[in-house]
Amino acid sequence: MPLWFLPALIALFAVVSLAAGIWLVLHLPDVARLFRGEKPGQMVRGPGRRRATPAAVWTALAIFNLGWVACVVIWVFVLDGEANVFIDAKA
């Protein structure tokens, strides 16, 4: 595995996670609708038209979380020195 592979993989997962996070921020009313509460003072969706389906919101949440978790796992893998076995600095 070349030296640039793991940083490129972290960058890819970071960009994917960032894109999903931006999508979630742009669809905050739909996220609030997904987690709406029944008691007073809990999250309630504001007025307006419905845009994203619950499946789309769950998918974006899963992609967002998998992206940053993958970045952390790769980072820990590199920091522990386990990646030194697989990296060929001459390539």
CA 62, CA 64: separation in Å to the nearest integer?
5
- Work out how many domains the chain is built from and give that number: 1
Q: Is residue 18 part of a domain?
A: yes
pLDDT per residue as tens digits for the range 56-80 = 999 999 999 999 999 999 999 888 8
Q: Is residue 91 part of a domain?
A: no
The answer to whether 18 touches 30, Cβ cutoff 8 Å, is no
Sign of CA dihedral 63, 77, 8, 22: positive
Taking the alpha carbons at both ends of the chain, their separation in whole angstroms is 8
Q: Is residue 52 part of a domain?
A: yes
| Residue recorded with tokens 């980072």 | 75
The answer to whether 36 touches 44, Cβ cutoff 8 Å, is yes
Q: Indicate whether this model's pTM tops 0.85.
A: no
CA 28, CA 37: separation in Å to the nearest integer?
15
The dihedrals phi and psi of 81, each to the nearest 5 degrees, come to 90, 0
User: What range does the domain containing 20 cover?
Assistant: 5-85
pLDDT per residue as tens digits for the range 13-54 = 999 999 999 999 999 888 888 887 677 776 666 666 778 899
